[in-house]
Structure 1
């Protein structure tokens, strides 16, 4: 594999890191090794279980090349690819926590993660306390002798809040906790969590890392000892990523910087338009100076991503009319692809939460989430304008 030079910039690493050298039969693109198993090379001394190459063991050529690229672009010691973002989240937490253990997690979490922490982990004897990610002074009171992990998101979904990330990494280090951040919304283009001091970075690679709305995948990057511990459990749980999906994700990563910068710029343009529109009651986008976390987050972020949310003065009825009248945004969940997507989170990404949980999270039923794609921002703006009229 190609070693990514320490002075290579992100765009160069996205193209070259992890690619085989010499290139396989001269192929410029990484081939798909569509084989579930590989012969044992006795000349190299392969004999034990850990020397076998097998898809479930996450050590086949496509998996290894992709992991090397991910580690290089995040600045981590090691990386692991998984069958979905939730596979990355659940396997990581289960590798670090056991019966009787406890974790701290920010209050505003992706719905699937919240359900894992409140429905599944308690059945295994693992407890969670939810904290205000923007109030570091309150965290110490939530600690227990059994606390092992601090878990946050770079940008929350769907209200786009940003906690005190630097304080989170520092707090975890001071109290002997493993710090984990889900950086799906930020991507390595806009945020460098390992540089802030986080031990592990998680991604739903389904979203921006792949960028084409055609696979489901997850990724874990960070300290080698923790990645290896998670890999050992993943080998047994079986949440590996197949070779063709690895190929598509590796291909998608090469254009990550171009895509994310375009989407971030477009989202800021649309957020400013919506903020000034008389039909809009509120806009949530951390790139806006009016956002409550903008000033704190500005030193850490080079851009604020392609997701924004907003509320209309007409409530749920007006929100549903806008979804029906918009021409370009597709009414579908997910984010990070070339198509702009528009949903009402109460009926999509957070439909699994009870109304009471949504209320506690400050999530109005009428909130709309716009995940900006690669269309011309002028066309998207014009379409939103006609739909709002």
Structure 2
């Protein structure tokens, strides 16, 4: 087959990393459900927890091709990927600098677990590279970023972060979930390790839980050594479903992204909305950096309802758009970050990060935009106090 890095994006999604059905010549990958494989007279001693069953192995090739990296690993959740990546490179006495506004689960993992391991950490004041530099110490091992960030869609300059890290011989990690490999490839900007909650755009149908890491072969090898001890491997059924879902990744994400641009423009012009957070808006402070490092601006946005609109009543009255905990499915969904993704933070901590009670995170699906607009309009009318 032609070099996967030279294949078109749809061709990569469909064909790279498929398991060949040599027996029956089926059009889709066969699924190998075995949890026990031969160990004698074999090229590879396979075991599910070692991330090397046939379906796992081939799916990793597809994810690596999508992120332009040498290798990849898949996990049972995004948090399994995040924790495995961090713990693979951190030990007692090490230090990590983390972007302030990140996914609440990541924040909770750091503040709940790192002290037990004797790992030091510092949070930046913003997503600007200038805030990372003074926090770097002699024992700093990782700069961790998330761009666009959850839930305010903040934009961090990946090239600038990578440059600072290389000057100080520090590793860089990014949560690339919101952008997906379709809209952003951090490896091209010098970021070392790319992490995804594959539950989201990679899965795309709101029916599987998974995580992924893409990086150099050497970095994946080090993560693998830790991951096999933590046991965050993915079941074969889910591996097969994820490979199926990735075939339409580009088609889905492009359609969702186009819808999100329309919705962002509509919301910005709506007098019942106080603020809209979307990197594709020229009014957004991160617009220029996003335009430089993203292929397109993504399908996630957030907006703040005016104070005379009850945020929970607004969501209860939505008829097409679902009020739902997760994101990135084909269907449009909303969520209140203050009550879900960032509920583990105190009110003071949430407000420090700009997360108000009226903030709504909006994952835009593939429905017609005029139907989504009509749904929001009727929900606003019913939710006015």
Quickly name the TM-score band, shorter chain normalised.
over 0.9
Answer yes or no: is 1:221 the counterpart of 2:214: yes
Match of 1:362 in 2: 354
In 2, the alpha carbon distance for the partners of 1:40 and 1:24 equals: 23
1-structure distance, mates of 2:228, 2:343: 31
Q: What does residue range 161-200 of structure 1 map to in structure 2 within 5 Å?
A: 161-200=154-193
Question: Where do 1:129-208 residues align within 5 Å?
Answer: 129-132=122-125, 134-208=127-201
The residue aligned with 1:331 is 323
Q: Which runs of 4+ in 1 moved over 6 A?
A: none
Q: Deviation at 1:339?
A: 1.5
Task: Provide the C-alpha distance between the structure 1 equivalents of 2:205 and 2:128, rounded to a whole number of angstroms.
Answer: 36
Determine whether 1:384 maps to 2:383: no
Does 1:293 find its partner at 2:292?
no
Segments of structure 1 that go 5 or more residues without pairing to the other structure are: none
Kindly state the Cα deviation for residue 36 of structure 1 after the two structures are TM-superposed.
0.7
Match of 2:263 in 1: 270
Return the alpha-carbon distance in structure 2 between the equivalents of residues 52 and 303 of structure 1.
42
TM-score scaled to structure 2, two decimals?
0.96
Contact 2:5 2:68 in 1 (8 A): no
Q: CA contact under 8 A between 2:275 and 2:305: conserved in structure 1?
A: yes
Question: What SS is found at the alignment partner of 2:321?
Answer: coil
**Alpha-carbon distance in 2 for matches of 1:192, 1:40:** 38
Could you tell which deviates more after superposition, 125-134 or 270-279? 125-134
User: Post-superposition shift, 1:137?
Assistant: 2.8
Q: Secondary structure at the match of 2:322?
A: coil
- Aligned-partner Cα distance in 1 for 2:269–2:23: 54
Q: 1:312 Cα deviation (Å)?
A: 1.4
Q: Measure, in 2, the Cα distance between the counterparts of 1:166 and 1:215.
A: 32
Q: Secondary structure at the match of 1:310?
A: strand
| Change in CA separation of 1:249 and 1:29 when aligned onto 2, cut-off 3 Å | same
Q: Is 1:14 equivalent to 2:13 in the alignment?
A: yes
State the shift of 1:366 in Å.
1.4
SS of the counterpart of 2:350? helix
Inter-partner Cα distance in structure 2 for 1:217 and 1:249: 8
Segment drifting more, 375-384 vs 62-71: 375-384
- SS at 1:180's partner residue? strand
Q: Give the distance between the partners of 1:11 and 1:30, measured in 2 at CA.
A: 17
Please give the secondary structure, in 2, of the residue aligned with 1:11. helix
Structure 2 distance, partners of 1:242, 1:251, is 14
Count of equivalent residues: 381
User: Structure 2: how far apart are the matches of 1:114 and 1:156?
Assistant: 12
Is 1:342 the counterpart of 2:341 in the alignment? no
Matched, 1:279 2:272: yes
- Does structure 2 retain, via aligned residues, the 8 Å contact 1:180–1:201? yes
Task: Name 1:25's counterpart in structure 2.
Answer: 24
Match of 1:78 in 2: 71
Which residue in the other structure is 2:295 paired with? 302
1:73 to partner: Cα distance: 1.0
Structure 2: stretches of 5+ with no match in the other structure = none
| Correspondences of 1:209-248 after superposition (within 5 Å) | 209-248=202-241
Cα distance in 1 for partners of 2:91, 2:280 equals: 39
Structure 1 residues 139-188: Cα deviation after superposition (integer angstroms, max 9, x where no partner): 22211111000110121111110112210111111111111111000011
1:3 positional shift: 6.6
Q: Is contact 2:306–2:358 with CA below 8 Å preserved after alignment?
A: no
Q: CA contact under 8 A between 2:199 and 2:206: conserved in structure 1? A: yes
Structure 1, 359-368 or 87-96: larger mean CA deviation: 359-368
TM-fit CA distance, 1:211: 0.4
- How far off its partner does 1:25 sit? 3.0
Alpha-carbon spacing, 1:286–1:104, altered in 2? closer, same or farther (3 Å)? same
Look up the match of 2:313: 321
